[in-house]
Structure 1
Amino acid sequence: MPYTSLPLVVLLPLLWSLSFAIDKDDFSPKSGSKVCVGKICDDSSVFHYYDCCGQLLTDCCFKLQTWVIIVIAIVLICTLVSIVLSLIRCVCKC
């Protein structure tokens, strides 16, 4: 089996199983909290939103949308798998 198809063999079943485990509302953009205690938060975007945080919920905290985190994780996993397979191929001279 070629090394290029290995990430597909690993990622496709993973993504398929995640599609059943994750609620569909997790992928819709969140608007976040507009007003925290004593502060007005910045506007949300497709990539991020703000949520109230802190001990008394007085601060606006920056958070990434769920789909952005998943895309970053998939890209990192594919990159790491590619690096490891390239090193194995280089060492084994396959």
Structure 2
Amino acid sequence: IVKSWVDTGFKKAVVEHGARLGIDVEVVDRNPGVRGFHVVKRRWVVERSIGWIMMHRRLARDYETLAASSEAMIHVASIDNLAKRITDEATPTWRGTY
């Protein structure tokens, strides 16, 4: 990981920890002049990615004991999502959508 974007709630601790690990951590601030909902730069990437992997039942809740198991399931979900895009075919999900 070379670059990471974080919400304003993670200002100092995450930036300092990222610096120790050699990761460029950028805090994404909201526009104070805009009231109500508005799109925050780069945040949609995280929200979209989490939404994609949550379509896989095993990742909908944190049931894994080992972090390696969770990581493997995220890889499987990512491979499935990529295969869907390449082949334009869908595999059934736990929600019953295709």
Q: Could you say which TM-score interval applies, normalised by the shorter chain?
A: under 0.3
Choose between structure 1 and 2: higher strand proportion.
Answer: 1
With the length of structure 2 as denominator, give the TM-score of the two structures. 0.26
Asked which structure has the greater CA Rg, the reply is: 1
